[in-house]
A and B are shown apart, each in its own frame.
Chain A
Amino acid sequence: MNWSIILESTLEAMVSKNAVVFALAAIGLNIHYGYTGLLNFGQAGFMAAGAYGTGIAITQWGWSIGLAAGFGLVLSVLLALFLGLPTLRLRADYLAIVTIAAAEIIRRVVKSTQYSSVTGGSGGLNGIGRGFYDANPFNDRLDLGIVDFSARQLWFIVVGWTVVGLCMLLTYLLVRSPWGRVLKAIREDEDAVRSLGKNVTWYKMQSLILGGLFGALGGIMLTLEQQSVQPDQFFTPTTFFAFTALILGGAGRVFGPVVGSMVFWGIIQFTDVFLRESIRNDLIPTSIMDGVQAGQVRFIVAGGLLAALMIFRQQGMFGNKREVALDGH
C-alpha cells in the first residue's frame, strides 16, 4: 500500500477541478434548497446549459471566452424560466420530477446524432477556450511537499477558487439583504409570505434563476478546465453529487456547499484510490472487485452518504437543524 499516493491524490482532489465545479453547483443548489426550499434535481441540466452554451459559442461561432460564457449563462436563465413556469406554483415534488426529467432530456438531446453538427453528439465538443491556459501567468510547478501542482493546475485552482469566493461573497450579501430574508421566509412558510403581499412564485423564480446561474458557472469552469464538453458528464448522478456535497457541508450556510464539495471529493477520491491500491497490491482479489468495479464504488458511496445524511444528520457539518428541517413539524 502506497499511502503517500493515497494521501496526495485525496488532497489534490479536495482543491482541483471537481471540487471547484461542484462547489459552484452546490452553491446554486443552496440558493434553491437551502434558502428557498426548492427541490431542483436538474442542476446537471443547468451545468450542461453553461458548458454547452460556452462550448458551442466558442467552437461554432468563434466567440471570445467571456462572451461565450455569457451566452451559457443566458441559456441557463432560459432553462430556469422554462422549468419554473409550469412547476413553481405547484407542490415541491413536481419541480423535482420535472427538473430531473429535463436534465436527462438535455443530455439525450445534446448526445443525439440529430444535432451532432452543433453539439458534437456523443463525442462532445473539443478544443474549447485555448485562451484560458494561454493567459496562465504561472510558469513553474508548485511543490508543497506532499502535493505538487503543475502550472496549469495552479492557474485553474487560482481562477476557480476566486470564482467560488466571489460567488460565496455574493450569496453572503444576497441572503442578508431584504430579498434574501423573503427567500428564507418562503422556505419557512410561504403562505405567511403570500399573506404579506409578496409574489411568492416570482421570488421562487428569481431563486431558481440565480441558483441555475451558479450551476451554469460550474459547467463553464468545467469546460474551461478540460477544454472540452462531454454529454455524459451531465448525467443524473452529477446533480446528486452536488446535492450530497451541499447536505454534507450544511444547507442554508454560505460555507456549507464549498466545504461540503471539498470534503465530498476528498472522500470519493480516497475511496477510489484506496480500492485501486488495494487491488494492485492483491489485498482485494479481482474476483470480488476489479478496476472497473472500483470506479463504480463512488456512486454507491455517494448514494449511501446522501441517504445516511438525510436520515441521521440533515444539517450536515455546519447547518442549523431547525433551519434545514424542511416541512418539519
Chain B
Amino acid sequence: MSRTRRIATVPGAGGSVAYDLPIVSAHTRRLVLLLVALTSVVGFSFVGAGVAAAQDATEEPGDAEATPEAQEAAERDIESVVGTLKYSDEDDNDVAVEGVEITATNADGEEVATSTSNEDGTFLLEVAEPGEYTIAVNPDTIPDGISLRSEERGSTTFSLSPGQQRTVLFPLVEGEDGGTRGQVTRLDRLPQLAWEGLKFGLIIAMSAVGLSLIFGTTGLVNFAHGELVTFGALVAFFFNVTLDLPLLIAAPIAVVVCGAFGGAFDRGFWRPLRNRGTSLIAMLVVSIGVSLVLRYLFLYQFGGRTRPFGDYAIQTNTLEYFGVTMVRKDIWTVAICTGLLVLVAIALEATRIGKATRAVADNKDLAESSGIDVERVILVVWVAGAALAAVGGIFLALNEQVNWQGGFQLLLLMFAGVVLGGLGTAYGALVGSIIVGLAVQLSTLFISSELKNVAALLLLALILLVRPQGILGRKERVG
C-alpha cells in the first residue's frame, strides 16, 4: 500500500494561505531570504578565515620533545621525520627504548636514511627531498620483552612536503607479540567493540534526534543535517584552536552558535519556503543543494585536511574495565551523550513545549487547531536539533578529528538509524542509532573495517523489507 501523496499534501494547506498574501510580502520575504543567505555566507567566511589562519599556526612543525638536532633540521628547512620510541610500564611511567633501528624508504623502494634511537628513545631521519616515504622500524632491533602493539603499526607511509618535519609514532608495549593484545579471539574483541559501538551509536543518536524531529514536525527529510554536525565541530575548532580557548569553553559556545544558526536557518530559509507552498519533495531536493553548498564552503575555508582539537586529542593513559580498554574522553563522551539524551526525553515528556512537539509530530493540523503555535514548535525543534547535532559533531571530532565532511559521512548512518527506529519519532532515532552504531562496530568482527558501514546499509534494507515503519514507528506513517 503506497500513499505517496497523502502525507505530502499536509503542508499544502498552509501553503495555499501564503498565496493570498499581497505580492509585496512575497518580495519582502524573498529579500529577507537573500539577506539571510548573504549574511550567513559572510559570517561563515569570517569564521573560515580564522580557521585558515589557525591552520598556518598548527602546521608549525614545533614539537616539545624535539631534540636539538631535530630543531636544527626543522630550522634548516630539511624534510625530516622524528619520533620517540617508548612504552608505558606497569606504573604508567614512560620508558625510553634505545638502540632500535628506523629506516626511511622512498617511493622507488630505495632505502634513503637510517637512524637508531638514542638514550631518550628519540630518532631523527633526514631525507634529501620531499616526496612519499615509508618509515619502518626494524623489529629485530627491538629489545627482548618489548614489542610493537601490532605488526601493521611497524611501518607507515606518507608524503613530506618541502621543508616539512613530521612526527611518527610506533606504539610499543611490554611483552612479546603486542603484549596481551597479541592473540585475540572474536569473543575477546566483543566487549571492546560493543563499547565502541555504544559510544558511536550515542554520537549518531545525538546528531540524529534533530533529523527525526524536523521530519516529524515539518515533513522535511533534511539532507543538509550532516552539515549541521560538521558545522558544530568547525565552530568548536575555531574557538578552540584559532582563538585558543580551552575546549571545555569552546564546545558550549559552538553549541550555542549552532543552535542559533539552526533557528536562523529555519526562520530565514525553511519557513519562507513553507509559506511559499514549496512541496516536500522540492524541499528535500533543496536541502540537497544546500548540503552541497555548505559542505564545499567548509572545504573551501577549512581545507581538505583532518585536524585535531587543541585539547584531549591524544590521551595515552588507558583505563581498563571488564576487558574493555578506554581513555577518559570515551567515558565522558558516553556519559555526556547519555545525560543529554535523557534530558531530551524528559523535555519531550514533561515540558509544555515537548508535549506540543509530540502533538505537532503526531498531527500537525489537529495541533494547530487546538491552539499550538506550530511555527514556534518548529523553530524550537530546529534550534534544539541543530544544537544537539553540534554536540554530536564535537564528540565525533573528538574521537575522529575535525574534517570538512565528517557530518556528511555520518548522515548515511543517521538515516539508517532514524529509519530503523521509525522516521519521525524521537525515541526511534535513539534506539535505531544505537543499533546502527553497534552494528557498524560489531560487523568488524567478520568483515574488513573499511567496509563496516556496509553492515548498516544492509540492516537498513532488511528492516525496510520486514518492518518498513521501523522499530518504534507506526504503520500509517509509511504510506
Could you list which residues of chain A lie within 8 angstroms of chain B, going by C-beta atoms? Answer: 37, 39, 41, 82, 85-87, 89-94, 96-98, 100-102, 104-105, 108-109, 112-114, 189-191, 200-201, 236-237, 240, 243-244, 247, 293, 296-297, 299-300, 302-308, 310-311, 314, 325-329
Contact = CB atoms under 8 A, between A and B. Distances in A.
Interface SS majority for chain B: helix
Contacts of A94: 419, 464, 468, 478
Nearest to A239: B288
B15 interface: yes
Contacts, number: 161
Contact of B285 (A87, A109, A306, A328): A306
A299 B279 contact: no
Interface of B: 1-5, 7-9, 12, 15-16, 221, 223, 273, 276-286, 288-297, 299-300, 408, 412, 415-416, 419, 423, 448, 450-451, 453-454, 457, 460-462, 464-465, 468, 478-479
Contacts of B419: 94, 97
Contacts of A87: 464
Given A90-B479, A300-B300, A327-B279, A108 B289 contact: no
The residue in A89, A307, A325 that gathers the most chain B C-beta atoms within 10 A of its C-beta is A307
Contacts of B450: 108, 112-114
Contacts of B277: 329
B259 to A, nearest CB: 23
Nearest to B8: A327
B293 to A, nearest CB: 4
B457 A93 contact: no
A293 B300 contact: yes
A191 B3 contact: yes
Given A101-B415, A237-B292, A302-B292, A328 B12 contact: yes
A86 B464 contact: yes
Nearest to B298: A296
Given A90-B478, A90-B479, A96-B221, A327 B290 contact: no
B4 A190 contact: yes
28 contacts: A87-B464, A90-B2, A90-B478, A91-B2, A91-B3, A96-B284, A98-B461, A100-B223, A101-B460, A104-B412, A108-B450, A112-B448, A114-B450, A189-B5, A236-B408, A296-B299, A302-B289, A303-B293, A303-B294, A306-B285, A306-B288, A310-B285, A310-B286, A311-B276, A311-B278, A314-B282, A326-B279, A328-B12
A97 B5 contact: no
B451 A91 contact: no
B292 A306 contact: yes
B79 to A, nearest CB: 22
B16 A327 contact: no
Given A97-B419, A326-B282, A327-B280, 14 more contacts: A90-B468, A91-B479, A97-B221, A100-B223, A101-B416, A105-B453, A237-B292, A240-B288, A293-B300, A299-B295, A307-B290, A310-B286, A327-B5, A329-B12
Contacts of A100: 223, 412
A302 B457 CA distance: 27
A24 B78 CA distance: 51
Contacts of A97: 221, 415, 419, 460
A308 B450 CA distance: 37
B217 to A, nearest CB: 15
A303 B292 contact: yes
Contacts of A297: 296, 300
Contacts of B297: 300
